[in-house]
Chains A and B, each alone.
Chain A
Amino acid sequence: MQTLDLADIELREMNATLHAQAETTNQTAWEIVNPKGAHAIACGIDAPIEVTVKGSTGYYCAGMNKQATINIKGSAGPGVAENMMSGKVIIDGDASQYAGATGHGGLLVIKGNASSRCGISMKGIDIVVHGNIGHMSAFMAQSGNLVVCGDAGDALGDSLYEARLFVRGSVKSLGADCVEKEMRPEHLELLAELLEQAEADAKPEEFKRYGSARELYTFKIDNAY
C-alpha cells in the first residue's frame, strides 16, 4: 500500500503520481490521507489500481475515471465520478449534487444519500444509491441504470432518453416524459446483479421501474421550412 498525504504534497503531485501508474503497474493499492475536502482528487486515472481516500472530498473526485476502483471513506462533494468511463467508485458517506454526471460507464455506488441531479445526462454509467436521491435526478439521462434503494425527489428523469431508473421507495414527482414502466424478468435480473455488485441489501421485486415515454423524441418539424 502506497500512501499519498495531502498534508505533505500538492494536489498536482498526487494526481501526477496516480496518472503515472500504467496498465501493468504492480503498485496497485493507494491510499490518500488528509483529503480535507480538496477538489479534483484522483481524477483522470487510467489504470486498474485501487485508491482509498481516507476522508471527505470536494468537487469532482474520481472525475473521468477509467479502470480504477476508488473508495471514498467519507462523503463526496459535487460531481463525484463525473464522466466516468469505467471502473468503480464507492462512497461510504453521502454525495453532493451531480453525482455520476454524464458518466459513460463503470459503477458508482453511494452508500448514503445523493443530492440533486444525481446521474444527470448519464451516458451508460450504472449508479446505485443505498439511500435517497434529490430533485432533478437523471435529467436528460441517455443510457445506463440508476438504482435508488430509498426515495427520489421531484422531477425524476425529466426529459429522459434511454436510461433505466429503478426506485424502491417513493418518487416525489416524475419529470417531463418520464413514466412508470413494466418490470420485466430481464429488468429483475439486471437489478439483482447491480444490487449485488453494490452490496445493497434490497430485493429486486421491491423496486419500480421508470423510463422514457419517448414523446419528446421527435421535434415536430415536418411542416417547417
Chain B
Amino acid sequence: MTDTFNGAPHTAPIQSATFSNPVNAEIRRAAATGIYDIRGGGAKRKLPHFDDLLFLGASMSRYPLEGYREKCETSVSLGTRFAKNPIELDIPVTIAGMSFGALSGPAKEALGRGATLAGTSTTTGDGGMTNEERGHSKKLVYQYLPSRYGMNPDDLRRADAIEIVVGQGAKPGGGGMLLGQKISDRVAEMRNLPKGIDQRSACRHPDWTGPDDLEIKILELREITGWKVPIYIKVGGARPYFDTTLAVKAGADVVVLDGMQGGTAATQDVFIENVGQPILACIREAVRALQDLGMHREVQLVVSGGIRTGADVAKAMAMGADAVAIGTAALIALGDNDPKWEAEYNALGTTAGAYDDWHEGRDPAGITTQDPELMKRFDPIEGGRRLNNYLKVMTLEAQTIARACGKNHLHNLEPEDLCALTLEAAAMAKIPLAGTDWYPGKPGTSY
C-alpha cells in the first residue's frame, strides 16, 4: 500500500476496529439466513486470563526446591466434608463433564482411559453414563443435569461422585441443544426421545428452584446413595461470591466453578461471547466466600475455563483453587482440531484450530460425532495414551513452578507467589500489579 493513489496523496483505507471484517461477515450471514450462529467451544475473544499473571519465583527471602529431585506433591482429596468416600486423586487436573452425544462413545472411553492412567477423575455429561466410560474410568463423576437424560438410580450408585450442574461458564443461565444429526439410535434411546430430532436440554432443574430446595435435593441424593459419595455443585462464572456461598449452604462437598472461556458442545455464539465472567475474575471471589464461611479447603474448589498448561494450573491453585478441570484442552490432546485433517476442515469451510461446529456431527477427527465412519478414525487407546501424556506434562509443569516458589505441594502455592501484568488482571485476581504492592480495590487504599 502506498501513500498515493493515481499519483495524488491519499489517505490509506482503514478497516474499522468496530466493524471489522469478521463482524461484517457475521452481519451479512445473519442478513442472509435469519438465524443466529450456534457453535461449540468457549469464548474466542481475548479476555483477561492466567497469561496476565506471572510467578515471582524464589529469591533472597524464599528458597526454592531442587527441580527434579525434591518432593513436590500433587495429590488432592475432593469431597471431604460429608461423603464417606471422598475422591482421592494423584493430580489436581480433572476431566470436565462432556456429554455422550456431543462426544462419541470411543472419545468418552479415551477420556476415561487417559484420566485413569494419570490418576485423576473424569465426568459424564448430558445424556447419561455410558458403559465405555464407566468401565474405563477408575473415578467417574456422574452429572445430575436439568435434562435428566438417562438419569437413573443404578448409575447414580455406580458413580464415585455426583455433580449437580446448575450452570456452565460458556452459558450461565442457558440450556443445551443437541441437533438431530447427532441423535443416533443409541443417543435417542438413552435420552428417551425419537431419533433425529433436535434435543433441547433444559436450563433449569425440573424439580427444585432455589438453594433451599437444592439443599433438600442433595439430602435425597445422599439418601439414595447412602451418604457415600461426594456431591459437587457446578456453577458458571456469574456471581461467584454468592453462588459459592449458596452452594456451600445447600450442602455441597465440592464447588466446581467454570469461567466464561469454558467450552460447550453447542450454544449460541452470542451467549458464549457475552454472558459470564472470565475465570480470572471468579476464583478469588469464590475463595473469599469459602474463607468467610470458614470452609476454604473444607469444601474444595475446582475451577475451569480455558486451562491449557501447568502454569495455568499452578496459577489457579495459587489463587486458592484445590483442583482444576479441563474440557477443550483434553479434546485437543485427543486430536480435535489437529492440522493433519486440514484438507477436511477446509472442505467444511473452516481451518484446523477454528473448527467449532461440533454440533453438526461431521468432525473430521471423529471425536465430536456419532457418525460410525468418522468415529472409526479415532482410536480410544491411542487417545487415552495421548491424554495421559498431556496430563503428565501439565503436572510436571505445575511442579516445576511450585518448586521454584519453594513449595513442596501444589496446594502450598499462594497469592503472594504471583504478580499481575495488567491493571485489569490485578483488579480481577486481586494480585499486585508487577513492580508494585498494589492492586485496584486493595483494602486500605483509596482507589
Contact = CB atoms under 8 A, between A and B. Distances in A.
Given A11-B223, A59-B220, A63-B224, A102 B151 contact: yes
Contacts of A97: 207
A22 interface: no
B269 to A, nearest CB: 10
B38 A224 contact: yes
Contacts of B194: 161-162, 217
A218 interface: yes
Contacts, number: 120
B207 to A, nearest CB: 4
Interface in A66-80: 66, 78-79
14 contacts: A12-B227, A19-B226, A44-B225, A66-B153, A79-B208, A102-B148, A120-B207, A142-B191, A143-B192, A159-B200, A217-B198, A219-B179, A223-B33, A224-B38
Interface of A: 11-12, 15-16, 19, 39-40, 43-44, 46, 58-60, 63-64, 66, 78-79, 82-83, 85, 97-98, 101-102, 104, 117, 120-121, 123-124, 139-140, 142-143, 159, 161-162, 214, 217-221, 223-225
A64 B193 contact: no
Interface in B26-44: 29, 32-38
- Which 7 residue pairs are nearest across A and B when measured between Cβ atoms? A44-B224, A223-B33, A98-B207, A123-B192, A101-B207, A102-B148, A40-B220
B270 interface: no
A105 B192 CA distance: 11
Nearest to B151: A83
Interface string B241-270: 000000000000000000000000000000
Main SS at interface, chain A: loop
B13 interface: no
A162 B219 contact: no
Given A63-B220, A79-B217, 18 more contacts: A11-B223, A12-B227, A40-B216, A44-B223, A44-B225, A59-B220, A82-B207, A117-B207, A120-B206, A139-B206, A143-B192, A143-B193, A162-B193, A214-B197, A217-B197, A219-B177, A224-B38, A225-B29
Nearest to A15: B223
Nearest to B32: A223
B33 A39 contact: no
Contacts of B168: none
Contact of B153 (A46, A161, A221, A223): A46
B149 to A, nearest CB: 8
B54 interface: no
Interface in B16-61: 29, 32-38
Contact of B34 (A12, A218, A223): A223
Given A64-B152, A64-B156, A121-B147, A101 B206 contact: yes
Given A85-B153, A218-B198, A16 B206 contact: no
Contact of B37 (A214, A220, A224): A224
B292 interface: no
B441 to A, nearest CB: 41
Contact of B180 (A12, A82, A98, A218): A218
A78 B225 CA distance: 20
Contacts of B36: 224
Contacts of A117: 206-207
A146 to B, nearest CB: 14
B231 to A, nearest CB: 14
Contact of B349 (A63, A64, A225): A225
Given A219-B179, A223-B32, A104 B219 contact: no
A19 B192 CA distance: 27
B192 A124 contact: yes
Contacts of A220: 35
B148 A83 contact: yes
B202 interface: yes
Nearest to A159: B200
B213 interface: yes
A221 B220 contact: no
A104 B150 CA distance: 9
B206 to A, nearest CB: 4
Most chain A CB within a 10 A radius of its CB, from B193, B194, B223? B223
B202 A140 contact: yes
A121 B148 contact: yes
Given A220-B35, A221-B38, A224-B38, A123 B148 contact: yes
Nearest to A142: B192
